[in-house]
Structure 1
């Protein structure tokens, strides 16, 4: 009988011993997203393990100072409330659902106060909204979860919003949420202690495709709709970029060298709907995001989505969602 060799333990990467660990302060907001927080925290833990040196330390804080619940309902024990942080600390606010409500006046005031120290501040998942509401992203590049793009761009037009999975602009960091936290932390670990350590941490996380801030967060149009037809993809891309000022099907068809009838057949074949219907669904989806995520008036939501008449907007919205925009907003509130 042949003895099977035991697997070798993971090798350690030797790095220079820091004077003190780099400290991260995670600010967990009410209904924060567990995955984006856990992904960031575990990357730091593994950096310590794989270097056999305490490179990073962390603490968890929040408004209540005792416990906070994530969007999945799990309760997390906090180390304390919104107190003083060190000038060398990195503060990462972790957002989730209902971010506007979670961004309280107390949180905004605390963020502004700590920002005056010149510390690095970040927002994971939807927490870019918290930084923006505190005036801490003015003139900066930022990203946020794609579902919140519409509301964010309408609410904060002065901020250069990207579709990247994460952005680092000076002392401001933002991510799109989910597994983007892993990519951000691998980027920061590589910056601090080298690519080899970051790669080893990625291996431990079974993370085989490390993304950069040049990668976008959403799947390509062909992948999303399950169709690999270049001209159809181009038309859909044009539709997505022209929500406020809709373009006619005839113009869209001409731009890709097709007749309107050919474009109709293409949409029917691959998406089982007309170009006009698909375009309307895109506009109504954006309208619903704005109703849920902003305090914009109904008429301004309608205008932002290409409807010149509130009554027409309400009629189309009700036909698609089974409720009027006014009732939808009231129910959500």
Structure 2
């Protein structure tokens, strides 16, 4: 969930972003952060954002794609103050953090917001700079880092904006985050124009989850549970009853309920309802399809039934969802 950040507050002076590139960083994540900011300058006719590239030392930094990027400053080169410093790093981090980097990050002025792209969140966590904050990171690292850094509330969302800490899970999630920042500061119209320039059809919101493969989501759960969830996901429009699911899988209803409670902390019917409502939410956000048609497409007998379940789950009606 995105919370207010000083970075997205309107300002009469350009916002200065420092982007620290660590070896093995993702070119895609880097571009998804930097290019929308520069395009916003171009389309607005104003220099609203300044982007400065940083490295452990001045020179070139090799990316994960084995291509090198030139950086303007090293950590000791006395670059001017920044409104925000983003760390772009690989995930998982394949090397220890040097004392110079840790010291530099910890001595940045308190008014400087900090952000992580992909493994950049791990860098901030290792430095103790995410304690007490919400942050996201690539889903593959969620379990390990949640255990290693219990003072950080890690999520598996696309991005997080929590006060003066920002994080994106990697890849195009950085584009969604950056477009959200532009919309908050410069308005929805300009953010939409930037999005259109990238042929980006829909800006995803901070509360949308990363797509985690089913087997990875369920970890070491029994195959019968994996099969049950797969059946649910494949049958959204005409949902099975719990008894029908159990019969398809060749297990008893009680056994199926025990598996869901043990591994997913939910009864099958509730888990299925959540899946259908999430599918409905995606359709509401991504299409102009009538709400009644969406209701039928995600297994509800009427628009009224869908609206009631939707409000109970998300705290707003389908109609209100489309207005946000």
Shorter-normalised TM range = 0.5 to 0.7
**Residue of 234, 249, 266 corresponding to 1:263:** 249
Tell me how far 1:262 sits from its aligned partner.
4.7
Give runs of aligned pairs for residues 315-326 of structure 1, distance below 5 A: none
Preserved contact between residue 126 and residue 148 of structure 1 (Cα < 8 Å): no
- Among candidates 138, 141, 147, match of residue 145 of structure 1: 138
Match among 184, 204, 220 for residue 191 of structure 1 = 184
How far is the alpha carbon of 1:261 from its aligned partner? Answer: 7.5
Taking the TM superposition and a 5 Å limit, the aligned residue runs for 1:85-104 are 86-99=80-93, 101=95, 103-104=97-98
* Secondary structure at the counterpart of residue 57 of structure 2: coil
Alignment partner for residue 233 of structure 1, among 222, 229, 245? 229
CA distance in structure 2 between the partners assigned to 1:163 and 1:259 by the alignment = 28
CA contact (8 A) 2:86 2:115 kept: yes
How far off is 1:101 after superposition? 1.2
Confirm whether residue 109 of structure 1 aligns to residue 103 of structure 2.
yes
- Alignment of 1:79 with 2:72, yes or no, is yes
CA contact (8 A) 1:24 1:57 kept: yes
- Deviation for aligned residue 1:103: 3.0
Equivalent in 147, 154, 178 of residue 147 of structure 2: 154
CA distance in 1, matches of 2:245, 2:194: 53
User: Which structure has the higher relative contact order (CA within 8 Å, separation 6+)?
Assistant: 2
Residue 263 of structure 1: how far off its partner (Å): 2.6
Flag the 1:18–1:152 CA change in 2: closer, same or farther, 3 A. Answer: closer
Write out per-residue CA displacement over residues 286-330 of structure 1, whole angstroms, 9 at most, x where no aligned residue: xxxxxxxxxxxxxxxxxxxxxxxxxxxxxxxxxxxxxxxxxxxxx
Q: Quick one: structure 1 residues 141 and 204, their matched pair in 2 at CA, closer, same or farther if it must change by over 3 Å?
A: same
Alpha-carbon spacing, 1:258–1:31, altered in 2? closer, same or farther (3 Å): same
SS at match of 2:95: helix
1:18, distance to aligned residue in structure 2 (A): 6.2
Root mean square deviation, CA, Å: 3.3
Deviations 1:129-173 (A, max 9, x none): 000011111011110011111221121122111111000111011
Change (3 A) 1:157 1:94: same
Bigger radius of gyration among the two: 1
In structure 2, distance between residues paired with 1:210 and 1:152: 28
Where 1:209 maps in the other structure, the secondary structure is coil
Per the alignment, residue 271 of structure 1 pairs with none
8 A Cα contact 2:131 2:152, kept in partner: yes
Q: Give the alignment partner of residue 61 of structure 1, picking from 54, 59, 63.
A: 54
Of residues 13, 17, 33, the one that matches 2:26 is 33
Contact 2:24/2:64, CA 8 A, preserved across alignment: yes
Q: 1:108-138 deviations in whole A, cap 9, x for unaligned?
A: 1111111x43210000112100000111110
Matched residue pairs, number? 230
Tell me the secondary structure at the aligned position of residue 25 of structure 2: coil
User: Structure 1 residue 90: deviation in Å?
Assistant: 1.0
Deviation at 1:191, TM superposition (A): 1.3
SS in 2 for 1:174: strand
5+ residue gaps, structure 1, are: 1-16, 238-254, 266-274, 280-333
Consecutive unaligned residues of structure 2, counting only runs of 5 or more, are 1-9, 219-224, 234-240, 252-258, 264-324
Residues of 1 paired with 2:231 and 2:144: CA distance?
24
Secondary structure (helix, strand or coil) at the match of 1:124 reads strand
In 1, the alpha carbon distance for the partners of 2:160 and 2:191 equals 18
Contact 1:25 1:92 in 2 (8 A): yes
SS of the aligned residue for 2:203 comes to coil
DSSP-derived class of the 2:204 partner:
coil
Matched, 1:163 2:156: yes
